[in-house]
């Protein structure tokens, strides 16, 4: 996340660019946090698509993998009466902005292109507000993945772990051989992302639903939740000493560069591997966090469309249409690491991990185990998410033991509601 001075400078510069006389060329101003190599390459697919239609792109990147910095800048822009055309956004954040009356209406383009028939219901729950389309879903990410350096596993004679105990043993073997067992960036959203998968492994889908979706105090303070925190302590023992504040893509680079054996991260990490020229199954492995198989925790990047001056509306509508086109959905997600937000798109052009992700997502949707990621703002509102972040990070940094952390979690969630 950038500092306040940077945010202020970005806001000021953007307002200067969008104020005054009408802009001759149609353009969109896009606020986002896709600044890593793989993310930037994926975003460029959309940028080039719009530029081919004669639509200019005013880029407004704010670094920070969880989007906190971008949301700070957005709040300043909206307060100043100069919202961007489109903003990358996740889950309940979209609904919160819609409830404030800040978002535009995409019903016309959605109806013309039949979005209702091709966007999964779970995604429509965040793309619509009060029955109206307010955002365009770009993709579906799933978050309970492990990324592994295959050369390290081969060197140590390790098979892909299929149970929690095997996973722990593999991290220990890597650590004993001089590698970092688990690449991790010490930021609250990254720890919470790991925690999603660990909770499923410790208590199953039922615990996840009761704790993170129903916000049941008994589930949040249960023995199974204590076990989840205990497992987080185990993961902490395999992280290197310099993890604090590290961006997620730098942790991915540790696996890519054969410094670390594993990383637990959403499938946006795959974009970093692909951007580095690595091949699934040859250079790296992708598999579900052991214990979470059969359940898919998801988030979906969407571009929320803000209320803008009438002159900017045509470009905004064209951007939404471009995002939802089948050709873009495939081209973008091939680079990004995610899967399309449309159910009518073939995955034949995706790599092995992408095809696996599509198949597992479809199976989870059928089984009722496709669940919104708590860490990524798709299980509960932002206030609850942030309360969970605080407890999980405090525990990961040694402020609580596992039993105390479970009690603190229940108390924090209750206070945040």
At residue 155 the predicted structure's pLDDT band, cuts being 50, 70 and 90, is very high
Selected residue with higher pLDDT from 7 and 123 = 123
Residue 148 φ then ψ, to 5°: -130, 145
- DSSP character at residue 23: P
- The pLDDT tens digits of the residues spanning 331-385 come to 999 888 899 999 899 899 999 999 999 999 889 988 989 999 999 999 999 999 9
d(CA 301, CA 56): 22
Q: Provide the pLDDT for residue 23.
A: 45
Q: Average pLDDT over the chain, rounded to whole?
A: 92
Least confident range of 57-66, 153-162, 303-312, 350-359: 57-66
At residue 25 the predicted structure's pLDDT band, cuts being 50, 70 and 90, is low
Distance of CA 41 to the CA centre of its chain: 17
The distance between the two most distant Cα atoms of the chain, rounded to a whole number of Å, is 66
Selected residue with higher pLDDT from 24 and 228 = 228
Q: Is the dihedral of CA 207, 99, 333, 235 positive or negative?
A: negative
Provide, rounded to the nearest whole percent, the portion of the chain with pLDDT above 90. 85
At residue 64 the predicted structure's pLDDT band, cuts being 50, 70 and 90, is confident
Is a pLDDT exceeding 70 seen at residue 8? no
Strand (E) or helix (H) holding 303? strand 302-305
Q: Provide the pLDDT for residue 1.
A: 34
At residue 7 the predicted structure's pLDDT band, cuts being 50, 70 and 90, is very low
Provide, rounded to the nearest whole percent, the portion of the chain with pLDDT above 70. 94
Strand (E) or helix (H) holding 248? helix 248-256
Q: Provide the pLDDT for residue 366.
A: 85
Query: Can you list the domains of the chain with their CATH numbers?
Result: 4-139+300-357 (3.40.190.10), 142-298+366-416 (3.40.190.10)
Q: Provide the pLDDT for residue 113.
A: 97
- Mean per-residue pLDDT, 88-106: 95
CB-facing half-sphere around the CA of 364: CA atoms within 13 A: 23
Is a pLDDT exceeding 70 seen at residue 231? yes
Q: Provide the pLDDT for residue 230.
A: 98
Least confident range of 2-6, 143-147, 221-225: 2-6
Q: What is the reported pTM?
A: 0.85
Least confident range of 5-14, 41-50, 245-254, 316-325: 5-14
At residue 24 the predicted structure's pLDDT band, cuts being 50, 70 and 90, is very low
**Please, which residues have CB within 8 angstroms of residue 118's CB and are 6 or more apart in sequence?**
342, 343, 344
- The pLDDT tens digits of the residues spanning 117-143 come to 999 888 999 999 999 999 999 999 999
């Amino acid at each position: 996340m950038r500092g306040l001075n940077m945010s202020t400078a970005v806001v000021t510069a953007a307002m200067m660019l969008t104020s005054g006389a009408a802009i001759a060329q149609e353009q969109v101003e896009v606020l986002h946090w896709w600044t890593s190599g793989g993310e930037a390459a994926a975003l460029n697919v959309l940028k080039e698509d719009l530029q081919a239609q004669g639509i200019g792109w005013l880029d407004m990147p704010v670094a920070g993998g969880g989007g906190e910095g971008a949301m700070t800048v957005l709040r300043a822009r909206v307060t100043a009466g100069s919202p961007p055309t489109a903003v990358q956004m996740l889950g309940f954040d979209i609904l919160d902005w819609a409830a404030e009356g800040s978002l535009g209406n995409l019903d016309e383009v959605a109806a013309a292109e039949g979005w209702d028939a091709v966007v999964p219901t779970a995604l429509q729950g965040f793309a619509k507000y009060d029955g109206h389309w307010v955002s365009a879903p770009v993709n579906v990410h799933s978050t309970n993945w492990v990324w592994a350096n295959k050369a390290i596993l081969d060197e140590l004679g390790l098979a892909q772990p299929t149970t929690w105990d095997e996973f722990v043993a593999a991290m220990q073997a890597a650590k004993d051989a001089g590698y970092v067992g688990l690449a991790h960036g010490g930021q609250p959203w990254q720890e919470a992302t790991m925690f999603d998968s660990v909770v499923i492994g410790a208590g199953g889908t039922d615990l996840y639903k009761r704790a993170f979706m129903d916000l049941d105090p008994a589930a949040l303070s249960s023995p199974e939740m204590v076990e989840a925190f205990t497992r987080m302590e185990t993961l902490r023992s395999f992280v290197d000493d310099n993890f604090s504040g590290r961006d997620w893509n730098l942790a991915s680079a540790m696996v890519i560069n054969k410094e670390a054996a594993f990383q637990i991260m959403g499938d946006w990490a795959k974009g970093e591997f692909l951007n580095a020229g690595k091949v699934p199954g040859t250079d790296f492995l992708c598999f579900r966090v052991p214990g979470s198989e059969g359940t898919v925790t998801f988030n979906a990047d969407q571009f929320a469309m803000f209320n803008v001056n009438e002159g900017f509306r045509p470009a905004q509508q064209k951007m939404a249409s471009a995002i939802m086109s089948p050709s873009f959905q495939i081209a973008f997600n091939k680079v990004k690491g995610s899967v399309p937000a449309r159910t009518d798109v073939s995955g034949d052009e995706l790599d092995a991990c992408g095809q696996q992700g599509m198949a597992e997502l479809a199976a989870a949707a059928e089984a009722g185990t496709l669940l919104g990621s708590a860490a990524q703002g798709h299980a509960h509102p932002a206030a609850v998410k942030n309360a969970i972040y605080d407890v999980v990070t405090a525990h990961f940094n040694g402020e609580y033991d596992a039993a105390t952390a479970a009690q603190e979690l229940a108390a924090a969630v209750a206070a945040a509601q």
